[in-house]
Amino acid sequence: MENLNRRTLVIGLIVLTIGIIFVIKLFILQVYDPSYKYSAESNTRREIISFPARGLVYDRNGKLIVSNQADYDLMVVPRELKPMDSVTFCNSLEISIEELRSLFDDMNGRLRNKKISRIKPSIFYKQLSAKQYGYLQEKLYKFDGFFVQRRTLRKYEYPYAAHILGYIGEVGPQDIERDDYYIRGDYNGINGVESTYEKFLRGEKGFKYVLVDVHGRQKGSFRDGEYDIPAVAGKDIKLTIDIDLQKYGEELMQNKIGSIVAIDPQSGEILTMISSPTYDPSLMVGKKRAGNFSVLSTDSLKPLFNRPIMAWYPPGSTFKTINALIGLQEGVLTPDTKYECYMGYSVGRFHLGCHSHSSPLNLRNSISHSCNAYYCHVFRNIIDNKKYATVQEGFDAWKNYLVKFGFGHRLGTDFSNEIRGFVPNSATYDKIYNKSWSSLTVVSLAIGQGELLTTPVQMANMASTLANKGYYYTPHIIKDIEHDTIPSRFKEIHETGIDTAYYRPVRDGMEMAVWGGPGSTATAARVPGITICGKTGTAQNPHGEDHSVFIAFAPKDDPKIAIAVYVENGGFGARWAAPISSLMVEKYLKGEIDPSRSWLETRMMEGNLIYGTK
């Protein structure tokens, strides 16, 4: 028994020995030896976001338009901050002590409001210049809690197409609220295709875990990158625009206010979309964006304004084509119907003037000569058709055709800021004239003036519909998305409800406008060897010189391009818009301008409608 107790004691001692060894070792580890504490501080895992390369943008011919460039942000992990040499810090960043102080105040404010985390990196100073980055990289080890994070910024290969492309900018609080993908300091697309196709272009962020030492220097990947998630690059997109045509158009439009929209009628693809004056998209990259933006946004010529989809004008005489089609469809007009015109259209005391031309004219000639009187007759016959009980009913029937042509509502292009234009209905006039109005009251609509407002893209779409003899595809700018499909709405056909046969005389008239004999209004648009069909217009401008308008498509039998050109304060359509259209069509279909027309090209390019030399 004595022996057994001794054995119990031995076992107890063994247990106790181990216990004491542990207690001593733990004491050394936790209390006596401070080195492990330092190790723990140095042993910090940092989550670094790897930003994906944003998808590239190509034009319809595969030319690279938008690519990426590297950019660096100075990041801070507030918990890791230590007292530091702020003079060196300021010198490296080339900022003043005051600026640094305000940067810290900002950070502390955001910390208090729980906008940023104490343990996660957030942006301290955005978009370091190459020089700042170089300086800082060397000194960074002195500044605990700071590190540099790489992002990508856009790089524009051409100084054109700014309005189409849009730009990228920092996300706002609403963006972060709406989509968890974003955190403060991220970029997303603003305007243009950058915004519309943001979800495809942005890719997916990745995460990289690195071990960092006391000074924030990266010591290597955490657990051999086992937990890293690689970034997924954004999808590349191909646009329908022809960047060379875009460039040419922008050159033609320099020193002019206005827009050009050209569409491939067979697919609805927008070949070019120009808003003038424009700006170099590179101005909207990086740190200089804020400054340039405020300069551009206060410019009285509104270079940021995307005219093709946001400006509205009366369509002018180009609209006679539509009224002719409606008249034919409604049975109030035949190709052989003739009306007389003696310098205008007069009823009682009412008179709407016209220019001098031979009289009477048939339908084809009424288009080529752009007779105002003819369309007053046509328009009034449509509205006052006996099959409609009231003028309101007649008017709304007319209006419904316009809607089918894409007027008065958003066409549904890729651009979310596209406006709808304006098409009045009977209620509009009931309100204005207290229900007592007649077709004569609104007869200026016959020649595309009055309460009717359309956007250049709607006008180009009208040209496209004329080219197609009665249908159109929604104009769009996206051609391909890498590993994805473009929205299905761009593949749908929209019918106008007007018999294909009726397009024939109208198209003939448009051909004659360009190619006809004396009295034809659009001979300025002749391109040797191309059966271009067009219609001039003059949009009345109460504030000054009228706007020069032209719509066209070519070649007549197999249209490849439909175009609408607006030149503000350009006067008659034949003066600026028609020659510019013809140059665009020629450039697109032939690749170059016939030498016999180079004088015209020079005159158009050098024409300055902004600073007075007309």
* Contact between 536 and 577 (Cβ < 8 Å): yes
Q: How far apart are CA 562 and CA 435, in angstroms?
A: 39
The partner in contact with residue 371, picked from Zn ion, other proteins, none with C-beta cut-offs of 5 to 8 angstroms by kind, is: Zn ion
- Contact status: 13 vs other proteins (CB under 8 A): no
The partner in contact with residue 437, picked from other proteins, Zn ion, none with C-beta cut-offs of 5 to 8 angstroms by kind, is: none
Residues 6+ apart with CB under 8 A from 214: 38, 41, 42, 144
40 to 59: interface string for other proteins, x by CB under 8 A = xx-xxx--------------
- 237-239 and 57-58 as β-strands: parallel, antiparallel, unpaired? parallel
Q: How far is the CB of 116 from other proteins (least distance, A)?
A: 12
176: its two tokens? 């972060």
Query: Phi, psi (5° rounding) for residue 240?
Result: -85, -10
Of 82, 101, 178, 223, the one binding other proteins by CB under 8 A: 223
Of 56, 140, 210, 354, the one binding Zn ion by CB under 5 A: 354
128, exposed or middle or buried, with CB in 10 Å at 0-12, 13-18, 19+?
Answer: buried
Q: How far apart are CA 477 and CA 149, in angstroms?
A: 34
Q: How far apart are CA 196 and CA 372, in angstroms?
A: 42
- Contact status: 373 vs Zn ion (CB under 5 A): yes
**Given the rule CB under 8 A, which of 115-123, 455-463, 552-560, 587-595 is the region that contacts other proteins?**
115-123
Q: How far is the CB of 1 from other proteins (least distance, A)?
A: 11
Q: How far apart are CA 580 and CA 274, in angstroms?
A: 12
* Residue environment code for 504-521, b if the CB has 16+ CB neighbours within 10 A, otherwise e: ebbbbbbbbbbbbeebbb
The partner in contact with residue 223, picked from other proteins, Zn ion, none with C-beta cut-offs of 5 to 8 angstroms by kind, is: other proteins
The partner in contact with residue 4, picked from Zn ion, other proteins, none with C-beta cut-offs of 5 to 8 angstroms by kind, is: other proteins
Of 341, 498, 567, 585, the one binding Zn ion by CB under 5 A: 341
420: its two tokens? 């709808």
**Given the rule CB under 8 A, which of 15-23, 291-299, 325-333, 475-483 is the region that contacts other proteins?**
15-23
Nearer to other proteins, 72 or 222 (CB): 222
Nearer to Zn ion, 371 or 533 (CB): 371
* Contact between 263 and 269 (Cβ < 8 Å): yes
The partner in contact with residue 41, picked from other proteins, Zn ion, none with C-beta cut-offs of 5 to 8 angstroms by kind, is: other proteins
Q: What angle do CA 180, 183, 188 make, to 5 degrees?
A: 90
- Contact status: 84 vs other proteins (CB under 8 A): no
Query: Edge-to-edge strand order for the sheet containing 206-212?
Result: 44-50, 206-212, 218-221
Of 63, 120, 199, 556, the one binding other proteins by CB under 8 A: 120
Q: How far is the CB of 76 from other proteins (least distance, A)?
A: 16
Nearer to other proteins, 36 or 141 (CB): 36
- Contact status: 301 vs other proteins (CB under 8 A): no
- Contact status: 530 vs Zn ion (CB under 5 A): no
75: its two tokens? 């990041």
Q: Is the sign of the CA dihedral 154, 156, 157, 162 positive or negative?
A: positive
**Given the rule CB under 8 A, which of 112-120, 338-346, 404-412, 413-421 is the region that contacts other proteins?**
112-120
Furthest-apart CA pair in the chain: how many Å? 142
The partner in contact with residue 12, picked from Zn ion, other proteins, none with C-beta cut-offs of 5 to 8 angstroms by kind, is: other proteins
Q: How far is the CB of 303 from other proteins (least distance, A)?
A: 44
Q: How far apart are CA 123 and CA 66, in angstroms?
A: 26
- Contact status: 280 vs other proteins (CB under 8 A): no
**Nearest C-alpha neighbor of 454 from the set 376, 566, 534:** 566
Tell me how far apart the terminal alpha carbons of the chain are, to the nearest angstrom: 126
The partner in contact with residue 373, picked from other proteins, Zn ion, none with C-beta cut-offs of 5 to 8 angstroms by kind, is: Zn ion
Q: How far is the CB of 20 from other proteins (least distance, A)?
A: 9
Q: How far is the CB of 52 from other proteins (least distance, A)?
A: 22
Nearer to Zn ion, 165 or 373 (CB): 373
The partner in contact with residue 354, picked from other proteins, Zn ion, none with C-beta cut-offs of 5 to 8 angstroms by kind, is: Zn ion
Q: How far is the CB of 519 from Zn ion (least distance, A)?
A: 10
How many positions of this chain bind Zn ion (CB under 5 A)?
A: 4
Residue 210 CB-half CA count within 13 A: 14
What three-state secondary structure class fits 128? Answer: strand
Q: How far apart are CA 282 and CA 295, in angstroms?
A: 14
Q: How far is the CB of 55 from Zn ion (least distance, A)?
A: 54
- Contact status: 353 vs other proteins (CB under 8 A): no
Q: How far apart are CA 539 and CA 542, in angstroms?
A: 10
Q: How far apart are CA 452 and CA 611, in angstroms?
A: 29
Query: Phi, psi (5° rounding) for residue 327?
Result: -60, -45
Nearer to Zn ion, 270 or 354 (CB): 354
Specify the amino acid at residue 297: S
How many positions of this chain bind other proteins (CB under 8 A)?
A: 38
Residues that bind Zn ion (CB under 5 A): 341, 354, 371, 373
Residues that bind other proteins (CB under 8 A): 4, 7-8, 10-12, 14-16, 18-19, 21-23, 25-27, 29-31, 33, 35-37, 39-41, 43-45, 117, 119-120, 209, 211, 220, 223, 227
